């Protein structure tokens, strides 16, 4: 009787280990995404520049303002929200982008016949580390069009964000186009 209990426990234990190993393999498979993980990259880089000063220039319709601001993680999440919106690692977008790679560049470009707001993501590398990220997001219909070009550049020595640029042009039917541009440079102390 004890032998049967021991065997039952052993089978139950091995079955549990097998189940957990399958769960771990599934979790690892989900971590491997088909496209560059821009959302994860931005979240990681924001943490590294919490509470730093930024020399910021804002232009709206040609009216330019300059300021030095101290950015928290929440401020960075708002400032870089467009990059997180550019996440194309969604089931509905699989097979929607052509990926080209070289030693120093990775590009995901929307196939011409596919629909999607993210037109491309371009990642450049320097010595195996991300050096810059550029995105283009565009939305166009009969009454409204919007295009955003955004770049983040890394400091190759510190591996931290060095400077960035976000430019958006919006056009609503019957109205003049609105142009907004934000540029920021991290102030290193």
pLDDT in tens, 86-132: 999 999 998 999 999 999 999 999 999 998 999 999 999 999 999 99
The whole-number pLDDT of residue 87 equals 96
Same domain, 127 and 142: yes
Same domain, 151 and 179: yes
Same domain, 23 and 79: no
Same domain, 25 and 47: no
Owning domain of residue 87? 36-186
**Closest among 103, 107, 101, 151 to 126, alpha carbons compared:** 103
Q: How confident is the model at residue 59 (pLDDT cuts 50, 70, 90)?
A: very high
Same domain, 98 and 156: yes
Strand order in the sheet with 178-186: 63-71, 52-60, 178-186, 161-172, 144-154, 129-140, 118-126, 105-110, 97-102
Same domain, 15 and 101: no
Regarding predicted confidence, which is higher, 188 or 133? 133
Same domain, 28 and 121: no
Same domain, 45 and 69: yes
The whole-number pLDDT of residue 31 equals 54
12-16, 76-80, 138-142: segment of lowest average pLDDT: 12-16
């Amino acid at each position: 009787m004890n032998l049967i209990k021991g065997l039952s426990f052993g089978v139950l234990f091995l079955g549990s280990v097998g189940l957990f190993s399958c769960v771990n393999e599934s979790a690892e498979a989900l971590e491997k995404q088909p496209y560059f993980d821009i959302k994860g990259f931005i979240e990681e880089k924001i943490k590294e520049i919490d509470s730093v000063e930024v020399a910021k220039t804002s232009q709206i319709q040609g009216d330019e303002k300059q300021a030095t601001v101290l950015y928290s993680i929440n401020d960075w999440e708002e400032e870089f929200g467009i990059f997180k919106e550019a996440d194309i690692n969604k089931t509905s977008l699989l097979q929607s982008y052509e990926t080209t790679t070289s030693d120093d560049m990775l590009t995901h470009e929307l196939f011409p016949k596919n629909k999607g707001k993210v037109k491309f993501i371009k990642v450049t590398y320097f010595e195996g580390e991300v050096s810059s990220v550029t995105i283009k997001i565009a939305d166009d219909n009969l009454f409204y069009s919007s295009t955003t070009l955004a770049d983040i550049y890394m400091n190759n020595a510190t591996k931290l964000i060095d400077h960035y640029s976000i430019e958006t042009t919006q056009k609503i039917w019957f109205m003049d186009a609105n142009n907004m541009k934000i540029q920021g440079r991290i102030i290193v102390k």
